[in-house]
Homo-oligomer: A and B are copies of this chain.
């Protein structure tokens, strides 16, 4: 299993220039005061389509086009943000996109995918339906995270972070199926080997921890459910697990009830609208699950900002 290289990350950055937002890395004085280490955030909620996924989806289509292998259309599946990003990327490339999403997908994410022109199929069987649609229409099945081009696209966020943040001791990354952390870790470790990279996943949606324990791509035995809806992948990808084993210092789990308070603290102190998934890193810091001493510098990757109104209700009820 080959890992994405620094050259491939650089090529992805060049390819995406002008097509993604170079999102700001922002200081967080109030979080710093309450947390010990100095905190900065990489604000991928301000990315096109409202999440980092716009990087990987666009890089996948652009890289395929460069290789002369642009398909007739794209079939893909996603609980949310990748669906929106694939729709966005497909529209930019002039390709039809069909996205399989679960019936309980967050409404704003379904609406956004449709707004960018994708056909959305709501189905319980995401991968089965997606394979069938791809075969029937002659489309390529684009995996939402287990794809080297998608990983190289996500890595561009890590490269920007290292370039913009100054020296970092630790980067905390939300983990679903492993797409974001694969890229971030590859970029961080090739540019700044001394920076720790730690992934954080909800205990109720711990596909990566489960896969690492099994030493294989064993899906979770239950359907993962979390306030952090963006992190509810049922399994870790093969390319992703390879990147994680090579580049990631640790992947830890946070209890479900730690996510809403961390989410609120991020909203209140940064005044950025982020989705709950983006808050798991701060939850891990609050619980002392990662070492982060005063005087060190920690980056939180804020993966997206596509918030379900229902999650806002839950948030405010828990305070």
Contact = CB atoms under 8 A, between A and B. Distances in A.
B309 A271 contact: no
A234 interface: no
A277 to B, nearest CB: 14
B305 A309 contact: no
A240 interface: no
A267 interface: yes
Contacts of A313: 312-313, 316-317
A5 B64 CA distance: 59
B317 A268 contact: no
Nearest to A317: B313
Interface in A262-319: 264, 267-268, 270-274, 305, 307, 309-310, 312-313, 315-317, 319
A271 B45 contact: yes
Contacts of A305: 271
B315 A319 contact: no
Contact of A271 (B46, B268, B315, B319): B46
A50 B319 CA distance: 20
A267 B50 CA distance: 11
Contacts of A134: none
Nearest to A310: B316
Chain B CB count within 10 A is highest, among A46, A264, A267, A313, for A313
A108 interface: yes
Contacts of A317: 313
Interface in A14-46: 45-46
A112 B138 CA distance: 57
Given A309-B315, A315-B312, A316-B310, A267 B273 contact: yes
Interface string A155-193: 000000000000000000000000000000000000000
A113 to B, nearest CB: 14
Interface in A233-271: 264, 267-268, 270-271
A309 B264 contact: yes
Interface string A99-138: 0000000001000000000000000000000000000000
